[in-house]
């Protein structure tokens, strides 16, 4: 076990450590506790989707009051944490929260037609969700879960 976890990656870890210290080293690194460094490097594990909802911008005929948007947020808030992380990953390419929280994420939801057979899609580089105009909460949830659970990577579905 020691060989697998330590010895076998010693050379690679030493290179990573040198690179990390060349960028982030020095006395200022000593000012942080390990928890603070983890937050800076990995982001926050706390998912505040209410803050994201308040900060979200809308485009192409959607607004905060649009029925599809209202039911989408109801669905998102009702998901368990694992599915919320998958949704965040689907939309942004990361399941971690930025340092300043989801309320500071530039997130956009655009209307993507009225064909309810289409799945939601996303431009992860731009934190941009393309959401068809679903009429029912059940259909929106079905299509959203299909999209976030069955897709990964760069392809068109």
**How does 27-45 read in b/e, with b if 16+ C-beta sit within 10 Å?**
eeeeeeeeeeeebeeebee
Answer yes or no: 24 catalytic: no
Cα–Cα distance, 125 to 108 (Å, whole number): 12
Catalytic residue among 24, 28, 91, 125: 125
- What single DSSP character describes residue 76? H
Active site residues: 125
């Amino acid at each position: 076990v020691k060989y697998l976890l330590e010895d076998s990656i010693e050379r690679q870890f030493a290179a990573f450590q040198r690179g990390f210290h060349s960028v982030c080293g020095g006395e200022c690194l000593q000012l942080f506790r390990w928890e603070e460094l983890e937050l800076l490097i990995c982001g926050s594990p706390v998912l505040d989707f209410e803050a994201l909802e308040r900060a979200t911008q809308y485009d192409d005929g959607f607004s905060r009051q649009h029925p599809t948007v209202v039911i989408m947020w109801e669905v998102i808030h009702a998901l368990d944490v694992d599915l919320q992380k998958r949704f965040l990953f689907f939309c942004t390419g990361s399941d971690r929260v930025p340092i300043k929280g989801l309320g500071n994420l530039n997130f956009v939801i655009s209307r993507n037609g009225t064909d309810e057979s289409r799945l939601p899609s996303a431009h992860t580089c731009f934190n941009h969700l393309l959401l068809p105009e679903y009429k029912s909460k059940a259909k929106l949830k079905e299509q959203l879960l299909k999209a976030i659970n069955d897709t990964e990577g760069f392809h068109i579905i």
